[in-house]
């Protein structure tokens, strides 16, 4: 055993603790929901991606249970060898119908969808343009491909246009953006990017992980929210947030692009198929949303209520509509201490500081769900007011 390496791990862990960036897991004593049990008591959950409350919805759980009995636990295979069931094809068709796209490919996660996206499509003679605040999975996926990189200042359309002009000589070009930036709850400038990419013959890909089932009147995401549904060529997204909250991700778009990913994308070629129970529960999530988009409407109303009440209480909340509601408190130590104090008062909300967010912009990131009642949200606001006063934030 290399003691040098183990010593290195110990030193790094100490450094993380000292820098207050050591991540401590809290252990839930049951399923997730508007309220959860932790340390033997019930707390209000304000930090989950379970936007629609599907994580433990009876229909979702029943779909998973039935699939386990009908299709078994797993396939013991990647998709192309012997890991494809009718269930996978049905989910892919359903996602395509939901987005109005030609075809869809499933992955074990959206991390895998993003990681496996760029290398099959782009080579040394090509260019990738990427927003500087894009998700880590996009950053890592781009690292695996040899295309020329243009990392753009976040949300800077003038810089984007300049990069599109500068990269004209490259053979093929792809522009990648998050539909929603998850630390901010901020929706990207999708209509402007649709226009710019069309003007410069560049493929626009939007990672809608925090928008699928969340934004737009029917939950179709950032393009629907901003009035350009049908105009974004390709989406990647997750099945692990609004759409059942278990696992899985996908890329959806033009048939030839999706087929080439099936042939060449390494994160599907060399990794097992999505388990039947997860595939079936995700399918049920899409069916539920397509039958009845009212949870999206409730989610939006809940987010608006919480945003208004927190702003009225004097907290610094960036403007927006998304159920990610960042409460900016500035200092990292303060954000983490406030998170602990809120937990003591029965509200489970995460604090984020530098280097996850810029220095001086530490925050508590609240995430609202359709399953929160108005009373739940008001209870959270009252806890925030008490803790905010204690820490001199309001």
Kindly list the catalytic residues.
182, 210, 241
Q: Per rule CB under 6 A, is residue 285 in the interface with ligand PLP?
A: no
Which position's Cβ is nearest ligand PLP? 109
Q: Per rule CB under 6 A, is residue 95 in the interface with ligand PLP?
A: no
CA gap 287, 204 in Å, rounded: 27
The sign of the torsion formed by the CA atoms of 336, 338, 344, 347 equals negative
| Phi, psi (rounded to 5 degrees) for 223 | -70, -40
Q: Per rule CB under 6 A, is residue 282 in the interface with ligand PLP?
A: no
Helices 374-390, 332-344: crossing angle, 10 deg rounding: 130
| Phi, psi (rounded to 5 degrees) for 250 | -160, 160
Shortest distance in whole angstroms from residue 341 CB to ligand PLP: 26
Shortest distance in whole angstroms from residue 37 CB to ligand PLP: 23
Position among 47, 50, 130, 137 found at the interface with ligand PLP (CB under 6 A): 137
Shortest distance in whole angstroms from residue 279 CB to ligand PLP: 14
CA gap 280, 68 in Å, rounded: 9
Nearest to ligand PLP of 176, 383 (CB atom): 176
Shortest distance in whole angstroms from residue 111 CB to ligand PLP: 3
Position among 92, 178, 186, 225 found at the interface with ligand PLP (CB under 6 A): 178
Q: Per rule CB under 6 A, is residue 207 in the interface with ligand PLP?
A: yes
Q: Per rule CB under 6 A, is residue 131 in the interface with ligand PLP?
A: no
Q: Site mask, ligand PLP, residues 106-125, x = CB under 6 A?
A: ---xxx--x-----------
Q: Per rule CB under 6 A, is residue 251 in the interface with ligand PLP?
A: no
**Interface region with ligand PLP, contact rule CB under 6 A, candidates 22-30, 105-113, 275-283, 331-339:** 105-113
Q: Per rule CB under 6 A, is residue 48 in the interface with ligand PLP?
A: no
Total of residues contacting ligand PLP (CB under 6 A)? 14
Footprint of ligand PLP (CB under 6 A): 109-111, 114, 135, 137, 178, 182, 207, 209-210, 238, 240, 249
């Amino acid at each position: 055993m290399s003691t040098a390496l183990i010593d290195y791990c110990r030193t790094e862990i100490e450094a993380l603790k000292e820098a207050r960036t050591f991540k401590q897991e809290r252990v839930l004593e049951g399923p997730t929901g508007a309220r959860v049990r932790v340390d033997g008591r019930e707390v209000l959950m304000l930090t989950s991606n379970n936007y629609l409350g599907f994580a433990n919805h009876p229909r979702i759980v029943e779909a998973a249970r039935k699939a386990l009995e009908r299709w078994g636990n797993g396939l013991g295979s990647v998709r192309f060898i012997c890991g494809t069931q009718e269930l996978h094809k049905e989910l892919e068709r359903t996602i395509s119908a939901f987005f109005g796209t030609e075809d869809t490919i499933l992955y074990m996660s959206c991390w895998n969808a993003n990681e496996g996206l760029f290398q099959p499509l782009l080579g040394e003679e090509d260019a990738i343009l990427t927003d500087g605040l894009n998700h880590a999975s996009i950053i890592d996926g781009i690292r695996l491909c040899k295309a020329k990189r243009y990392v753009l200042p976040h949300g800077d359309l003038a810089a984007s246009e300049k990069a599109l002009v500068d990269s004209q000589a490259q053979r093929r070009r792809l522009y990648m953006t998050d539909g929603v930036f998850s630390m901010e709850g901020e929706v990207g400038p999708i209509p402007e990017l649709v226009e710019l990419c069309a003007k410069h013959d560049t493929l626009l890909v939007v990672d809608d992980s925090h928008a699928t089932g969340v934004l737009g009147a029917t939950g179709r995401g950032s393009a629907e929210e901003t009035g350009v549904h049908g105009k974004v060529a390709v989406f990647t997204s997750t099945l692990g947030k609004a759409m059942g909250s278990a696992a899985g991700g996908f890329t959806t778009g033009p048939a030839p692009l999706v087929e080439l990913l099936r042939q060449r994308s390494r994160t599907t070629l060399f990794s097992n198929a999505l388990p039947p129970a997860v595939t079936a529960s995700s399918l049920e999530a899409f069916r539920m949303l397509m039958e009845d988009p009212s949870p999206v409407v409730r989610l939006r109303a809940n987010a608006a209520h919480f945003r208004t009440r927190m702003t009225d209480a004097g907290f610094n909340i960036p403007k927006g509509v998304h159920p990610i509601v960042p409460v900016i408190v500035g200092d990292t130590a303060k954000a983490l201490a406030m998170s602990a104090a809120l937990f003591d008062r029965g509200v489970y909300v995460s604090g984020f500081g530098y280097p996850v967010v810029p220095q001086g912009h530490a925050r508590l990131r609240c995430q609202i769900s359709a399953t929160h009642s108005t009373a739940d949200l008001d209870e959270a606001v009252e806890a925030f007011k008490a803790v905010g006063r204690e820490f001199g934030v309001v």
